[in-house]
Each structure stands twice: as structure tokens, then as C-alpha cells.
Amino acid sequence: MLASLATLAVLALPQNGEADPPVGLTVVLVDVGQGDGVVIRAPNGTIHCLDGGPNGQGSSSVNPVIAQLQPTGYGFTFLTHFHDDHQGGLDELLITRPFQFAYDRGDLRRTSQSPNMANYLNAAGSRRRTAVVGGVYPLGGGATLTCLTRDGNVLGGAFVNPTSSAQEENSRSLAFRLDYGDFSMWLGGDLTGGGNNTSDVESPASLACGDVDVYMLNHHGSNTSSSTNLITRLDPELCVVSCGTGNPYGHPTITVTNRIVQAAATRAMLSTTRGSSNTIGFGVTGNIRIDTDGRRYRASAENGDFLDFYCDEVTVPTPTVGDLKISELHRDPSVVPDTNGEYIEVVNIGSKPVGLMGLRIQDNSSSITLASNFMLVPGRPMVFQRDGAPTRNGNQPLGMTVPYNTMTLGNGGETIQLRHGSQLLDSVAYTSSWPGGSGTAAERRDLRGANFSTNWTSAPLSFGNGDRGSPGAINPTDTTVHPVEVCVTTDSDGITVHGTALDHGGGARWSVLGVAYGSVPGFPFLNATVPLNLDPFLQLWLGVPGAFQAMPAAGYRSMRLDLPTPNVFTGATLYAAHVIVDLNTFTIPALSTAMPFQMP
């Protein structure tokens, strides 16, 4: 048994906790203006590129991103089709970086005579290859890219004639499915879906692809693409789009944005720029970086703001009563119109991260239901905003942009509810006499207290362009007393131990996560009795790096344990506890009770 424990200890070597960025595959949608340029860093450090943006953007925008990703090697480039906003900068990457092969759709009906076309062909030279429908391209470290379409040919045998399309070159686009673990992403160039008299290649291609986590909008959000069939079949949780500020094409269009971000199925959507108009329904980020370990993924804006998601194949805890609280609301902004600046902030005060798929937010006149499986860790606030463009919303942080014309907050006489299934998670009914008002958000004092007006206060600090509030941050007036908690979540591959101490983050406070065979009678340590037995399991566990760590300022951390094969502990009941140690006073200011759990 001790040998098995030693094996378990090795498997528990530190990995990023669920509050940290996942490590593995990285995808960056580079802000190349009106065009596409995507950089993929495989888990082994190999760099690949899909399209290179317009002429000059390969050098000015894409190459700096590649350098930031610290490549250990170079794999392939993929050119989805021969339009200058995709191929213009690719020769600059092929000249300056030692990519092995340059894949494109081949020479069938290649009509472009532009200098960018000649530059690409010259730079690719002998490295040029024609992508194969059904070809699976290994990117390194377990990540793969599968070719779904080329010249109207679709994986599985379907063919849609591109010559009958109003935009033949777009209809001939290569489309790919990117996979790493449970993570999947669609990358389809300017593939058409039947809009504006184009050939509908999207429908059979989406059948061949199946469900994905992330959808990169075809043709920059044009009405030619992102058909209802494609959105339904891909069923993405996050949609991302690359387009230029003030572009003359209307990208991303209102039709496509409203198709993706619906009240009954509200998906997260991010854009590199605010696009060509005042279309509302997406967050604006600059470069969009996606990191995934194959179980969860993080989408980060260029300024460091981020949203966390679970991959949709992963079984995750859903919120129950007491987990989520409405912590702040801004019902009457003054620096921007209400239609742009109103927001609701929700925070997780539970003992573990939860998935927000299916969360419903209701006000007096509307209701939205999340179709994105956001991962919200304890202590982390999340902003649900009417407009995701900082230049229009008063410079709020990145949040979830709700569908157009929903979540309209009255200045008084409004009730806001959080629901999941049949459960009412939280509710706030406010009047015009409540704290907050013109230019000032209302902030909740005690997140565990009742939702009376006396438990709310007017926000004291300014944010962004000058309104008062603290969107996306812990309220400065917060008085909540939180317990120290431990929780264990399990799956077929391992366990994750969660330590939450929202009152004890930062400074000299350290966190000890322990697991033992038994919890009674426990053992004395410093000024307290630890509710775990000092048995061989606990002794070995405490020697694992990561069992004892500084408590992050936010007050939550976790550590994951991958289980051995075969798992000799299947069905065993163990106990976990969380102990806070103050290194200044060398005391235990707080600790959890013991939590029993069964090994999977």
C-alpha cells in the first residue's frame, strides 16, 4: 500500500490550479485589422500559423505574437484561401520563420494575380503542399488539425459546387477542426453558408465537424456565413471573430451577432475590434488568446482580462442555492447611455468552482439563459453587461455581453433573479430609493446577508470613465465573513482538492490542503486540532509540492491529483481538510471541518 501511496504522490506533482491559466495548447487570434491571422502554439512549443492577415500584418502584428509565445520549433502554415486579407502577411512569416510546410487549397481555379499571391508562392517555394480533405495534421504534444473542406469537397464525401457561388473563392476555403484533449475549435476562413447567394458549404461541413467548444466566425461575421445550421450543429460555447475597426462591410453583422447571442441560448462572443458599427452583443478585446489544458480553457483579452470555460465534454458542478450572489448592479450610468453602461455583477461564494451553463438571469421584462459553460471560481466576480465594447460601456472590464435589448434595468421597481433549473439561487428587488443611482452603482455589503436595502450601499470608488462602481472586483465595502472550506471533485481520471478561504488570502497567510485515511481523533498542531489523522496517507500527502502554498489574495486555490492505472484506491473513503497558517504569528487563525469523499 505504501508503494501505491508513493505512486499517488508522484501523480500529485504541482499542476496549475483551477484559478490559474490552463497550460497546454495556445491559440491567438491576432488583431490584424480586416483579415485573419491565427497563431497556434502546440503543447510541445511548436508554432503553426493559419492565415497571415493583410500585407504588412505578418511582420507588424503576427510575428511579435509568435515571439511572445517563446517557440521551441516551427511546424506548418495553412492558407485558407487566396484573398489578400488572409494571404497578404503570410509570406512575411514564411520568410522570417523556418516553417516546415506551407499548406493551401492548391491551384484549382486559382485566379488571383495580386502581388501578394506572387509573394506567397515565392516564399512558400518547395515547402508548398496541398491540404487533403480528411488529413489529420499533428501539431505536437497531442494537438491535431483535421481538414474538413477544400474546394467544396467535404469530409465524409459531400460536395457543394463552388462555381455556382456568388463568392467562389470564399466557398473554396479550407476549414479545420482543432483538437486537444476535450477541447475543440472550428477554423474556417471565409467559408460560405448560403447567405448573399453563396454556396452552402457550411451545412455539410458542420455535420462532418460536430460539436466544438470554440467557433471562429467564418468570413469575419459576414451575412454570407455563420448559418443557423452551422451554429446549431457546432453548438459552440465561445465565438470569436477577427475584423477591422470601421470596416466598410458591416462585420460582424447584426444578423450574425443576434443569431449567435440569443436570449434562449446566450453564448459568449468576442471580437478583436468593435467592428464597423454600433452592433452590440460581443466583447472587444484586441488580440484574443485562448489557453487550454484539454479540460478547461481561458479566453484572454490583450489587456489581461479573461473569461474561463469548461470544455463541454467535462462533467462539472452546477451552482446550488448559496453559491452565487448578485453583488453589484449599475442601473443608471451617467458617462454613457443606459443601453451601453448598465451591468449586473455576480460572484461565487461557494466552496468550489461551478459551471454556469443553464444559468438564467431574469429582470422584470426579460430572461436570458447561458449556453456557455463559464467556469466561475470562488471569490471571482463576473460582469453581465449590455455592451462589451469598453469605448462605449464606460470602460468596464471584460464580461459576458447579453443579447441585444435584454436585461434592461429600471431605475426603480425592478426584481433581478438568478435561477438554475427549478432553483432560485438569489434575488434582488430594489426601488428608486435604494443606494446607487445616477452615475453610481449599488454594491452589496454582506454577500451572505439578506437582500434588504440596508445591506446595500452606494459605490464609493470610480472606475473606467468616471462612474462609481467596482465591476469585476471585490466590492471595497464588502463586510462578508466567509468560512474556511474544503471540497473535493472527482472524475474518471482524478480528483481535485479545492481550498477556499475568502477572508484569508494574501499577506503571510498560507494554505495547507491535506488528505488522510481518517479524521478522528485528528492531531494537535500549533493552537488548533487538525481534523485529520496523521496516518501514512496524510504524511505522504504533506510531502507533495503544492500541499502547502501561499494563499492567493482572492482566497481560493486547488490542486489536482491524477489517478494511477490501475487505481488501487477505487471506492476508498478518504477525508480532506483545509488549514490556514499565519506565518507572522505562527498560528492557525482558521480551518475547515473534514470532508469525506470516495475515490472514483
Task: Write out pLDDT tens, residues 242-297.
Answer: 999 999 999 999 999 999 999 999 999 999 999 998 788 999 999 999 999 999 99
Binned at pLDDT 50, 70 and 90, residue 526 comes out as very high
Taking 70 as the threshold, does the pLDDT of residue 463 lie above it? yes
Of the listed ranges 2-11, 265-274, 520-529, 557-566, the least confidently predicted one is 2-11
The amino acid present at 161, given as its one-letter code, is N
Taking 90 as the threshold, does the pLDDT of residue 13 lie above it? no
Tell me, yes or no, whether 37 and 180 share the same domain: yes
Tell me, yes or no, whether 37 and 9 share the same domain: no
Taking 60 as the threshold, does the pLDDT of residue 547 lie above it? yes
Cβ count near 49 (within 10 Å): 30
Whole-angstrom distance, CA of residue 468 vs CA of residue 246: 30
Mean pLDDT along residues 553-568 = 86
- pLDDT attached to residue 237: 98
Mean pLDDT along residues 132-158 = 98
Mean pLDDT along residues 69-97 = 98
Binned at pLDDT 50, 70 and 90, residue 8 comes out as low
- For residue 537, give its domain range: 2-14+482-598
Whole-angstrom distance, CA of residue 467 vs CA of residue 442: 12
Taking 50 as the threshold, does the pLDDT of residue 1 lie above it? no
Mean pLDDT along residues 121-143 = 98
Taking 60 as the threshold, does the pLDDT of residue 474 lie above it? yes
> Grid coordinates standing for 231?
451554429
Binned at pLDDT 50, 70 and 90, residue 140 comes out as very high
Residue 29 pairs in a beta bridge with 38, 288
CB of 24 within 8 A of CB of 141?
yes
Of the listed ranges 10-14, 36-40, 339-343, 566-570, the least confidently predicted one is 10-14
CA angle 79, 24, 491 (to 5 degrees): 125
The amino acid present at 122, given as its one-letter code, is N
| Distance between first and last Cα of the chain | 17
% of the chain surpassing 90 pLDDT = 89
Tell me, yes or no, whether 161 and 141 share the same domain: yes
- pLDDT attached to residue 2: 47
Taking 90 as the threshold, does the pLDDT of residue 413 lie above it? yes
| Closest alpha carbon to 107 in 85, 124, 88 | 124
Taking 80 as the threshold, does the pLDDT of residue 77 lie above it? yes
Which residues are CB-contacts of 67 (< 8 A; sequence separation ≥ 6)?
A: none
Whole-angstrom distance, CA of residue 451 vs CA of residue 246: 44
Which residues are CB-contacts of 261 (< 8 A; sequence separation ≥ 6)?
A: 267, 269, 281, 282, 401, 402, 403, 404
The pTM (predicted TM-score) of the whole model is: 0.96
> Grid coordinates standing for 201?
458549404
More confident residue, 495 or 147: 147
Domain final position from 392, 423, 458: 458
| Closest alpha carbon to 65 in 32, 34, 94, 98 | 32
**Any idea what the CATH number is for the domain that residue 551 is in?**
2.60.40.10
Mean pLDDT over the full length of the chain: 95
% of the chain surpassing 70 pLDDT = 97
- Per the structure, the count of domains in the chain is 3
Taking 80 as the threshold, does the pLDDT of residue 12 lie above it? no
> Grid coordinates standing for 248?
466598410
Tell me, yes or no, whether 203 and 62 share the same domain: yes
Tell me, yes or no, whether 254 and 393 share the same domain: no
Tell me, yes or no, whether 228 and 114 share the same domain: yes
- pLDDT attached to residue 4: 52
- pLDDT attached to residue 563: 78
- pLDDT attached to residue 275: 96
Tell me, yes or no, whether 107 and 215 share the same domain: yes
Tell me the pairing of strands 175-180 and 143-150. Answer: antiparallel
Q: Residue 388 has what DSSP assignment? A: B
Mean pLDDT along residues 489-511 = 91
**Any idea what the CATH number is for the domain that residue 329 is in?**
2.60.40.1260
Mean pLDDT along residues 347-368 = 96
- pLDDT attached to residue 401: 97
Tell me, yes or no, whether 283 and 418 share the same domain: no
Q: How far is Cα of residue 290 from the mean position of the Cα atoms in its chain? A: 7
Tell me, yes or no, whether 440 and 503 share the same domain: no
CB of 165 within 8 A of CB of 149?
no
Of the listed ranges 219-233, 370-384, 429-443, 550-564, the least confidently predicted one is 550-564
Tell me, yes or no, whether 365 and 417 share the same domain: yes
Tell me, yes or no, whether 399 and 438 share the same domain: yes
In a domain, 317, yes or no: no
Of the listed ranges 188-192, 217-221, 319-323, 565-569, the least confidently predicted one is 565-569
Tell me, yes or no, whether 447 and 537 share the same domain: no
- pLDDT attached to residue 10: 46
- pLDDT attached to residue 111: 84
Mean pLDDT along residues 478-492 = 94
> Grid coordinates standing for 295?
479540460
**Any idea what the CATH number is for the domain that residue 236 is in?**
3.60.15.10
- pLDDT attached to residue 7: 53
